[in-house]
């Protein structure tokens, strides 16, 4: 099937309907093996069993950034090619991105409690993830505020692109701010090298998270397309009533 056909929402619905069970099954399998590998991995000599939080934390952090990348590409699709499926992809990715970022923050806090003795430090890395989380919430708020979906999509696309340009600047300035104020005494995540006994489960878990994202994103896109169809049908119903 040529790629252009995918751009048709109806084709997309049919194809995603067939693909979803496979992705869901692959996600379950990846998580099963990932969790098995993670549980049987050796404890870190310094961090103990706490290091295993990393098997959730690090993939969540990667996806937190990955979702914004997906949204950025979709935003280009919305603004440049004015493609309705791009709107749908951007909208479906935003809550997922926010959820993965929240997961990254929460697992980070749980890891920080035994490691740093406090749930939160204003370390550059943590803080820039927090700012990323706030930006996701901003995009979600924008989607919720504008009633017309295609207008909301264009506004959200502009915000997403501005965010994509700004995120590196935010990251840089937060790092600068954190090192300015703090001696580099904070434990660095992971350490300089990761032993392969930890690396393999991490990569499997990352694959599982990626599959989870793809599955949820497909399902959310389907929901969004159907929600829009319902909306259009209701509007037609209103138009048909008593003119």
Partner 1 sequence: MTALAALFVRDLKLSVRLGGGALMGVLFFLIVVTLMPFAIGPDLALLARIGPAILWLGALLASLLALDRLIASDYEDGSLDLILMAPAPLELALAAKAIAHWLTTGLPLVIAAPLLGFLLNLDPAATGAVALTLLAGTPALTFIGLIGAALTVALRRGGLLIAVLVLPLTVPVLIFGVAASNAAIVGPLPFGTPFTILCALALMSAVVGPFAAAAALRHGLE
Partner 2 sequence: MSSNRRPTRLVASELACVRGGRAVFSALSFAVGTGEALLVSGPNGAGKSSLLRAVAGLVRLTGGKLALEDGDAELTLGEQAHYLGHQDALKPSLTVAENLEFWTRYLDGGGAIAPALDVVGLGGIAHLPAAYLSAGQRRRLSIARLIAVARPLWLLDEPTSALDSAAQTMLATLMRDHLAGGGMILAATHGPIGLDGAKELRLGSAR
Closer residue to partner 1 in complex, CB, 199/238: 238
Which of the listed partners (partner 1, partner 2, none) does 182 bind, with a CB threshold of 5 to 8 Å by partner kind?
partner 1
178: contact with partner 1 by CB under 8 A: yes
Q: Are 53 and 201 in contact (CB under 8 A)?
A: no
| Closest to 98 (Cα-Cα) out of 143, 139, 159 | 139
CA separation for the pair 95, 101 (Å, rounded)? 10
Closer residue to partner 1 in complex, CB, 71/132: 132
Closer residue to partner 2 in complex, CB, 147/184: 147
242: contact with partner 2 by CB under 8 A: yes
Which residues ranging from 142 to 171 are in contact with partner 2 (CB under 8 A)? 147
141: contact with partner 2 by CB under 8 A: no
**Sign of the four-CA dihedral 148, 151, 157, 158:** negative
Which of the listed partners (partner 1, partner 2, none) does 179 bind, with a CB threshold of 5 to 8 Å by partner kind?
none
Among 134, 162, 230, 238, binds partner 1 (CB under 8 A): 134
| Closest to 16 (Cα-Cα) out of 87, 112, 88 | 88
Q: Are 219 and 73 in contact (CB under 8 A)?
A: no
**117 φψ region: left (φ > 0), alpha (ψ -120 to 50), beta (else):** left
Among 7, 99, 120, 154, binds partner 1 (CB under 8 A): 120
* Dihedral pair phi/psi, residue 66, rounded to 5°: -60, -40
Q: Least distance in Å: CB of 40 to partner 1?
A: 32
CA separation for the pair 19, 30 (Å, rounded)? 17
Task: Summarize as ranges the residues that interact with partner 2 (CB under 8 A).
Answer: 147, 234-235, 237-239, 241-243
Task: Summarize as ranges the residues that interact with partner 1 (CB under 8 A).
Answer: 109, 118-123, 127, 130-131, 134, 137-138, 141, 144-147, 174, 177-178, 181-182
């Amino acid at each position: 099937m040529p790629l252009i056909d995918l751009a048709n929402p109806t084709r997309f619905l049919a194809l995603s309907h067939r693909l979803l069970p496979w992705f869901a099954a692959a996600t379950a399998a990846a998580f099963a093996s990932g969790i098995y590998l993670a549980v049987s991995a050796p404890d870190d000599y310094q961090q103990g069993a706490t290091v295993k939080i990393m098997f959730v934390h690090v993939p969540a952090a990667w996806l937190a950034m990955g979702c914004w990348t997906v949204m950025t590409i979709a935003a280009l699709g919305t603004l440049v090619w004015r493609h309705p499926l791009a709107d749908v992809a951007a909208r479906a990715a935003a809550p997922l991105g926010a959820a993965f970022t929240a997961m990254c923050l929460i697992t980070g806090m749980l890891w920080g409690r035994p490691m740093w003795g406090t749930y939160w430090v204003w370390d550059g890395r943590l803080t820039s993830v927090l700012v990323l989380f706030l930006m996701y919430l901003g995009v979600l708020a924008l989607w919720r505020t504008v009633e017309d979906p295609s207008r909301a999509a264009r506004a959200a696309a502009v915000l997403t692109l501005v965010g994509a340009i700004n995120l590196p600047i935010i990251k840089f300035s937060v790092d600068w701010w954190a090192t300015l104020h703090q001696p580099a005494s904070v434990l660095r995540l992971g350490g300089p090298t990761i032993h392969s006994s930890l690396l393999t489960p991490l990569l499997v878990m990352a694959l599982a998270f990626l599959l989870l994202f793809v599955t949820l994103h497909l399902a959310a896109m389907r929901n969004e397309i159907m929600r829009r169809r319902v909306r259009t049908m209701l509007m037609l119903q209103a138009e048909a009533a008593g003119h």
